[in-house]
Amino acid sequence: MQIVVDGIGKKFVREWILRGATFELRTGQRYVFVGPNGSGKSTCLQLLTGMFPVSEGTIRYVDDSGMEIGVDDWYKYIVVAAPYMELVEEFTLREHIDFHMKFKSFKNGMSAGAFEEFIQLPHASDKFVRHFSSGMKQRLKLGLAFMSDVPVVFLDEPTSNLDSQGIAWYLDNVSALSENQIVILGSNVSQEYEFCENIISVSAFK
């Protein structure tokens, strides 16, 4: 899998948030987009996921056979954990997991019960997500990202709302993501991305 980015830019009203960004992201590599708050890290990730359309330039997803994947199908190949991603708060934890698994299977055939153990929330199986703490919600988002069997993983501000134990859990699991995936982070916290081989400053895209 490759994500080929050619001269993309994003303009809101009269302000260019990003412009002239050109790079390639490849399977087996881990990337982090860095920059101060407000520099465009989250906007860049949202463009790469197809959440926002680009104002100029192109983004292409290319599979291992060299075939380009249409933008309407990108969602099948990606998973996203980010502060702006909403959970279905009317579901219990188990219902949320079952709903997610209708669209994306877990690695190695992991069951819903094993997943609850993985995110260290087996006691919350029947609890409504709306009653979760912010840290519990973040564990659920990250767990779905870590365990979904897809080629591209996006993690934006991944340790938001996590306590020290949660951060340790994140670090243990993020570094173990498959070599058959592209891992893409947005962060300005060095602890979150120490394992990344490729650091891209969004400040260069101005």
Please check whether residue 16 is in contact with residue 122, taking contact to mean a CB–CB distance below 8 angstroms: no
Band of the pLDDT at 189, cuts 50, 70, 90? very high
Give the Cα-Cα-Cα angle 146, 140, 202 (nearest 5 degrees).
60
Residue 72: give its domain's CATH number. Answer: 3.40.50.300
Tell me, what amino acid is at 45?
L
- Laid out side by side, the sheet with 2-12 consists of 15-26, 2-12, 56-62, 68-69
What pLDDT does residue 17 have? 94
Number of domains in the chain: 1
Q: How confident is the model at residue 37 (pLDDT cuts 50, 70, 90)?
A: confident
Kindly report the average pLDDT of the chain as a whole number: 96
pLDDT tens profile 46-73: 999 999 999 999 999 999 999 999 999 9
- Can you give the residue range of the structural domain that contains 37? 2-204
- Residues 160-174 pLDDT 10s: 999 999 999 999 999
Residue 38 has pLDDT above 90, yes or no: no
Instruction: State the average pLDDT over residues 184-191.
Output: 95
Q: What is the pTM of this model?
A: 0.96
